[in-house]
Amino acid sequence: MSLGDIFKAKENETLKSRIAELEGMLTPEMRNSVQLQEKISYQEKILSSLQADCAKAQADQTALLDKSKSELSAIEDQIRQARSDLVETEDTVLLQSFGLYQPHYSFSNATGYKEALDNIRTQQKDSVKKGSAATGSKDWTVNGDRRKGAKMISDMQKLLLRTFNTECDDVIDHVKFSNIDAAEKRIQTAFSTISKLGSVCGVAITGSYRNLKLEELHLAYEYQIEKQKEKDRLKELRAEERERAKLEKEIEAERKKLEKEQKHYANALQQIIQQISTADAADLPALEEKKAELEAKANDIDCAIKKVDYRAANQKAGYVYVISNIGAFGEGIYKIGMTRRLQPMDRIDELGDASVPFDFDVHALIFSEDAPALEAALHRAFEDRKLNMVNTRREFFRVSLDEIKDVVKKNFDKTVEFIDIPPAEQFRESELMRNRQRCCLLSRLRCKHWHRHAASCSLAARCEHYQHCPRLHPQKEMDCLLVMLLPWRSWRSPLLCREDRHGYSLAPVGRPFWHWLADRFDRHSLRRLQR
């Protein structure tokens, strides 16, 4: 041990003894203060550590929030892209927003559309054969082999074209008036999506091939429309042919009937002439009167035969009818048509068959030597009032009878009698029967007593009012019933008086009954009483 170490050891011992001496001089309060100071220093260290941890956590949270915001922004961009690529195929959605289709072609018949459609499909096949339907780089190699690389590109082109053709064929096969716009979008979306799948290899479908598919879509759709128009025209021609056949049959039957009557009256007239030649002077006046009567009837028959011959020779002669059906279509709806039959009511009766709930009512029957011209004039005048703007054979118009009268006066120089108020016998009788059923229902719902709470004295007065109210008008009957059903103005829990073995009592009415009541009676009265 060196001398320095000896001095340090002595110094340490001196210091320890001095410290011990000083600690011995400390009071208990001073010792507690020191311990407290040590605890404070320790807590400050802990606090500093916690603050550091909190700052770190806050920084991490801020970084996580920024990351979440960036991810949310990316997701929103993806959603917007998906919405732009979304193709709505539900007809119920598309019918709300589809517009009028503007034809791209103007062929005169379906054959022209069919030939153009075959031509477009031939162009597509030629484009595939020539390699212009899809693009692709030929510089690819597979394991250093260019031939394998070229084969890979060719197979990729075939795969994309097959996928695109399958998608387009499905769209074209199901195209109709309500999804033509969505069909175009589906083809555009399929083109962009399928081309992206081959972007790694540099393979894509050409825009010219896509345009050919769009042309095929438009041609296929317009071909369908033209075929339907031709079917409608053929149907109309067949209907006209049936009408012509019925007319010829009626004319032939009427001619045979008139010729038979003509022969009968000719024979009777010949007999009368023979009787006159051999009769006495006293019997001559009666025979002459009978002869004049027979000659008048024979002349009438001759006139009728001439009219029938005129109708057979003049195909334009016929009746223009104005009819309505307020029970089926409501007021202000008229059908304006034409028939060449000898008995025009036969045609009107055919229109009022089982397809409509009530028979048609005739407002006017106008005989015209040129019935098609008069009908066409009426249709032109109310062209913008058609109920069906697509099918011209549906001859229903939303007009007033006065407007029809004005057009008839301008295009027809003879007096025409119009029936302003239609009889509508079956419809009005049905309404009366419904009113009788309503009154019968009200009679069943009458009661003598109301039982609920002690505070129900006013209910008896209401019931008494209903018992003695006159049953002359269904509206008043209905109001009285509603007063009974809604004594406390409770729309949610109305009460109904019903009969059981204990007599009459009140029972709550459920929602199904309330819906039935609202459908059976006037909804405006229900709302009025509710208020």
Q: Is 294 exposed, middle or buried (0-12, 13-18, 19+ CB in 10 A)?
A: buried
Q: What is the pLDDT of residues 168-180, one digit of tens each?
A: 999 888 887 778 8
Q: Which tokens go with 151?
A: 């084969």
Question: Can you tell me whether residue 422 is helix, strand or coil?
Answer: coil
Q: Which tokens go with 50?
A: 């916690």
Q: Any idea which residue has 């208990």 for tokens? A: 28
pLDDT at 21 > cutoff 90:
no
- Highest-confidence segment of 78-82, 89-93, 465-469, 505-509: 78-82
Domain ranges of the chain: 3-70, 318-422, 427-530
Q: What is the pLDDT of residues 468-499, one digit of tens each?
A: 444 434 444 444 444 444 443 344 444 444 44
Residues forming beta bridges with residue 323, ordered by sequence position: 335, 362
Higher-confidence residue: 9 or 345? Answer: 345
Confidence (pLDDT) at 336 = 93
pLDDT at 334 > cutoff 90:
yes
pLDDT at 335 > cutoff 90:
yes
Based on its alpha-carbon atoms, the radius of gyration of the chain, rounded to whole angstroms, reads 49
Confidence (pLDDT) at 320 = 92
Cα(470)–Cα(78) distance, rounded to whole angstroms?
72
Q: What percent of the chain has pLDDT over 70?
A: 72
Q: What is the pLDDT of residues 390-404, one digit of tens each?
A: 777 788 999 999 999
CA nearest 464: which of 482, 478, 476, 449? 449
Q: What is the pLDDT of residues 187-198, one digit of tens each?
A: 999 898 888 888
Average pLDDT over residues 225-254: 80
> pLDDT band at residue 143, thresholds of 50, 70 and 90?
confident
CA nearest 205: which of 170, 175, 163, 169? 163
Q: Which tokens go with 507?
A: 């029972």
Torsions phi, psi for 431 (to 5 deg): -65, -40
Name which of 85-89, 233-237, 399-403, 465-469 the model is least confident about.
465-469
Cα(85)–Cα(81) distance, rounded to whole angstroms?
6
For 166-191, the three-class secondary structure string (H helix, E strand, C coil) is: HHHHHHHHCCCCCCHHHHHHHHHHHH
Looking at residue 419, what DSSP letter applies? -
> pLDDT band at residue 8, thresholds of 50, 70 and 90?
low
Q: What is the pLDDT of residues 190-221, one digit of tens each?
A: 898 888 888 888 888 998 999 999 988 988 88
Q: Which tokens go with 476?
A: 């008043």
Cα(83)–Cα(77) distance, rounded to whole angstroms?
10
- Highest-confidence segment of 12-16, 62-66, 523-527: 62-66
Positive or negative: CA dihedral 448, 454, 458, 459:
negative
> pLDDT band at residue 466, thresholds of 50, 70 and 90?
very low
pLDDT at 430 > cutoff 60:
yes
Confidence (pLDDT) at 486 = 44
CA nearest 325: which of 395, 409, 263? 395
Cα(489)–Cα(458) distance, rounded to whole angstroms?
13
Confidence (pLDDT) at 333 = 92
Please enumerate in sequence order all residues whose Cβ is within 8 A of that of 233, keeping only pairs 6 or more positions apart, or say none.
Answer: none
Q: What is the pLDDT of residues 240-263, one digit of tens each?
A: 788 778 877 888 888 888 888 888
- Count the neighbouring beta carbons within 10 Å of the beta carbon of residue 333: 16
Mean pLDDT, the chain, whole residue set: 75
pLDDT at 462 > cutoff 50:
no
Q: What percent of the chain has pLDDT over 90?
A: 9
Cα(425)–Cα(153) distance, rounded to whole angstroms?
79
Higher-confidence residue: 125 or 435? Answer: 125
Confidence (pLDDT) at 492 = 42
Q: Any idea which residue has 């229109």 for tokens? A: 351
CA nearest 505: which of 448, 458, 455? 448
Torsions phi, psi for 145 (to 5 deg): -110, 120
